[in-house]
Structure 1
Amino acid sequence: MATNNLLEAFRITYQNLQLLPLITPEDLAKFRVEYGTRVRAELEQVVEDCTDINNKVIFTGHRGCGKSTLLADFSRRIRDRYFVTFFSISDMIEMSDVNHINILFAIAVQMMDQAEKENIKIKESIKEKFYQWFATKTRTNIEEKKREGGPEFNLFGWIKLQLKTNSTIRNEIKQEFQRNISELIDQVDLIATVIRDKTEQEILVIIDDLDKLDLGVVREIFSDHIKVLMRPKFRIIYTVPMAAMRDKNLRTIMQDESNNQVKLMPVSKFFGKGENRNPDAEPNQKLVEVFKQIIGKRIASDLIEPDILTEIILKSGGVLREAIRIMNQCCSECLLLIRMEPHQKNIKIDRSIFEQAIRELRNDLARPLSNTDYQILTTIYNKFNPDISNDNDQDKFLELLHNVYILEYINDDLWYDVHPIVIDLLQRRGLLLES
């Protein structure tokens, strides 16, 4: 393949690997592979069968296991029966500043914005009251903004931009509702009631990427304010980090307040407990083939050696985004090599590229680890559970789980293992010699 064509082929592949999660209908149509069918069915069941007083769902799973893509697909499939508002909290609010108040405010903004996008005919007098309420709470002069932006001015688009970029407005909203949260919830419910009456559909709000918040932020939101988040009178799916569900106190709170409506998207389990310690162990080929299909939609087969593709998949530990991340690093190494050695015509992802990519990722994973982290990781490797004896180690374990150094697996039992790249790291440090 000519150098220019090779460069372009890896550029396209690199770009394709950025398209995760799959949110837009176009990306879903181009790259989607059937994945997580049982989990999607469980979500549909719990949404369909909930009651007016039992209509909140906690959805969890490892970061990068495919939750966002599944939720986007689920929201598309269920739109004929529900008025669906699906959004990422990271698109709405600076992640370090997320709290229970701006989550509820974001729900209100997104529902109104979705209603306008779908041309739902809300009575003008009611619509104007909604506009004025939002304008007051965000200190927006609608007429002035219309003069600046013209007749196409979108109030809710403007508010979304301000929530994302303007810390002053976020703080004003927080101060406004801190002592009067009932007003905000009443307004959220009123918007839902109006939309429900006009569409003759029940409301479903899906909030993605709450699982990407720092654990401390998640604890504050769901430990101190979960009752507030459960008060709106319509269906809501909240995503939360896997580690939050392994915090005893937080898990109990979320189970109790959601009436145990907790759904998990598990990691793909290529090997049974301890099997990957045997170099001759055979992985679950059905799951490996699914990962091959997912990656195969993003890279031409002549750009990667088949055996290396399998090794990349197994190095992911069953976490989809980790497989994509390794592929991404391999593409980056190829693009660099093409620029450094333009005379080479047959560059592809082979063993040398794969090993260089793993080296880069391994070193990146090593940088933040402390001696205590290494002790916990070694214990997990040897015992398949954290064997925690104090609160400090428990917090360390949860952080490692949150950041995918440790992976949780489920069959008849719940057990843990170390990310395969981190196992390499432990071996290189001589921590696994006895085992």
Structure 2
Amino acid sequence: MASFPPNRATTLKAAFRACDVGPLVGADIERYYVDLSNVRNTEAIESLNTRLDFLEPAEFCSILFTGHRGCGKSTELRKIQKRWEVEYKVIYIEADAEIDILDAEYTDLYLVIIKKVADELNKLNLKFDAQLLHNFETWFKEITQETEQTVERSVSISASAEAGGQIPFISKLLGKIQAQIKGADKQKQTIRQLLQKDIGRLQADINLLLGDAFVKLKQKYPEYEKGFLIIFDNLDRVPPNVANHLFFDYSEQLQSLHCTIVLTAPISVVYSEKNLSNAFDTPNIVPMVNIYKLERQRGDLEYNDVGIKAVASLIEQRVDIDAVFESPQDLLELVKASGGHVRQLMRITAKAFLTAATRKHNKVTTDDVTYAIKQEQFNFERSIPTELYSELAKVCLTKDVPKDENGWLMLFSLWVFEYNGKTRWNYINPTVRQSDAFQEALQSITANP
């Protein structure tokens, strides 16, 4: 992640850095966070906080937090982390750094969670019950055919030095298995089959360790009266087929661990005939920031000035507009091209700054903005199958996605956005909407309804 400039950016270079697409963390949250509650339904965020508040010590649950990738979920989760650090020991996990995001299984999540808890206990100078730990390690070594010698050989010198040479064996063991699961397909399948063959034992042993960790944590740190809160971010990056498998076929397993877990999920899983609410409680959905005036009978919607100004404030909070734009109208064009999608806004705005600097301009011009938006458009054109443009045109007219694999793909790939508040509806990503192929499909459907 790029480091933000110390003040609002006044040069193209600083403005480019200020539009880093990563989530806000630490002090940057207070500095750059913009409250969008007036233009975006924030019930999902407050509902999650309320659910955590309602839990009593030793009560656990798994909560789904969903929305489009890049809509600002990670920043909201960082705020949630900060809010609850007084009652929970929060462990923040970035899924894509720990598992194979393109081929994830619930057992992978189990191993990551217990390893992270073991690591956290070690940092706090706490230890699992010796007998429980021995039972788990012995069984785990047996089914994976690992020994202390094979595990020790796999631990890098740098990792040992970083931990002061005090890495618990359970962390070394699980770390090696995780690396193998992320690696060769043959090893991955073998390990998963071994674990799933005795999933009852794996689940029971992990829950015994989690229960022991909860007791040890409360004894030494009574302020963490609700125990561990696991925030599993970036699971929304798993593709639709993996998400369907993970959140429907194994929903029970994802809710069986004795700790409170917040799981990010792709928005595509909400659009399923299986009904996600049958597997989990009602998911908490973070929608797009609404920049439109909804008229269902219109294909080309007018803009909502309040929403436009709110999204523009995301850039205004980071950048001195007069110093880096020739005209404030150029910023508004970038906002309209974002569709209210925060990451897309940051990406195309950063591209405009980079383009202006490359062209030796002192400020961003209208041509720079047009070029940046066009590049985003071209990126989408390269990925959209020709035959799907007619389906996208139908979405533009009906304001709803099909509840099938094409619909899931549209949402996952950010070709279509969800907006909700008093009503729920879908609309085409503006950069997709301006492509020639889409416009031709729209004209064809309009002419032949």
Q: Same fold (TM over 0.5)?
A: yes
What's the counterpart of residue 271 of structure 1?
292
1:60 aligns with 2:75: no
Aligned AA for 2:272? D
Aligned AA for 2:422? D
Give the whole-Å Cα distance in 2 for the aligned partners of 1:157 and 1:349. 51
Contact 2:132–2:208 (Cα < 8 Å) also in 1: no
Q: Deviation at 1:206?
A: 1.6
1:247 aligns with 2:252: no
1:152 aligns with 2:177: no
Q: 1:292 aligns with which of 312, 318, 334?
A: 312
Taking a change above 3 Å as real, the CA distance of residues 220 and 381 of structure 1, as seen in their structure-2 partners, is same
What's the counterpart of residue 412 of structure 2?
402
Q: Deviation at 1:21?
A: 1.6
Q: Gaps (5+ residues) in structure 2?
A: 1-8, 219-224
Secondary structure of the residue aligned to 1:324 is helix
Tell me the alpha carbon deviations over residues 89-147 of structure 1, each in whole angstroms, 9 at most, x when there is no partner.
10101212311110111111112222333444656676676666776677363555679
What's the counterpart of residue 373 of structure 1?
388
Q: How many residues align?
A: 411
What's the counterpart of residue 303 of structure 1?
324
Contact 2:114–2:206 (Cα < 8 Å) also in 1: yes
Give the whole-Å Cα distance in 2 for the aligned partners of 1:169 and 1:297. 48
Taking a change above 3 Å as real, the CA distance of residues 315 and 157 of structure 1, as seen in their structure-2 partners, is farther
What's the counterpart of residue 213 of structure 2?
195
Contact 1:56–1:261 (Cα < 8 Å) also in 2: no
What's the counterpart of residue 91 of structure 1?
97
Q: Gaps (5+ residues) in structure 1?
A: 1-6, 339-345
What's the counterpart of residue 12 of structure 2?
10
Q: Deviation at 1:25?
A: 1.7
Secondary structure of the residue aligned to 1:96 is coil
Contact 1:28–1:73 (Cα < 8 Å) also in 2: yes
Give the whole-Å Cα distance in 2 for the aligned partners of 1:373 and 1:180. 43
Q: 1:207 aligns with which of 219, 224, 232?
A: 232
Give the whole-Å Cα distance in 1 for the aligned partners of 2:69 and 2:297. 22
Contact 1:96–1:213 (Cα < 8 Å) also in 2: yes
Give the whole-Å Cα distance in 1 for the aligned partners of 2:299 and 2:251. 45
The answer to which of 57-66 and 148-157 deviates more is 148-157
Within 5 Å, give how 1:176-195 maps onto structure 2. Answer: 176-195=194-213
Give the whole-Å Cα distance in 1 for the aligned partners of 2:125 and 2:104. 30
TM-score, scaled to structure 2:
0.80
Give the whole-Å Cα distance in 2 for the aligned partners of 1:63 and 1:206. 16
1:100 aligns with 2:106: yes
Contact 1:205–1:237 (Cα < 8 Å) also in 2: yes
Q: Deviation at 1:161?
A: 7.5
1:39 aligns with 2:44: yes
Query: How big is the alpha-carbon RMSD for the aligned residues of Structure 1 and Structure 2?
Result: 3.3
Q: Deviation at 1:283?
A: 1.9
Secondary structure of the residue aligned to 1:331 is helix
Aligned AA for 1:107? I
TM-score, scaled to structure 1:
0.83
Give the whole-Å Cα distance in 1 for the aligned partners of 2:300 and 2:439. 20
Q: Deviation at 1:330?
A: 1.3
Q: Deviation at 1:244?
A: 0.9
What's the counterpart of residue 304 of structure 2?
283
The answer to which of 375-384 and 50-59 deviates more is 50-59
Give the whole-Å Cα distance in 1 for the aligned partners of 2:310 and 2:140. 46
What's the counterpart of residue 370 of structure 2?
355
Contact 2:411–2:417 (Cα < 8 Å) also in 1: yes
Give the whole-Å Cα distance in 2 for the aligned partners of 1:376 and 1:57. 32
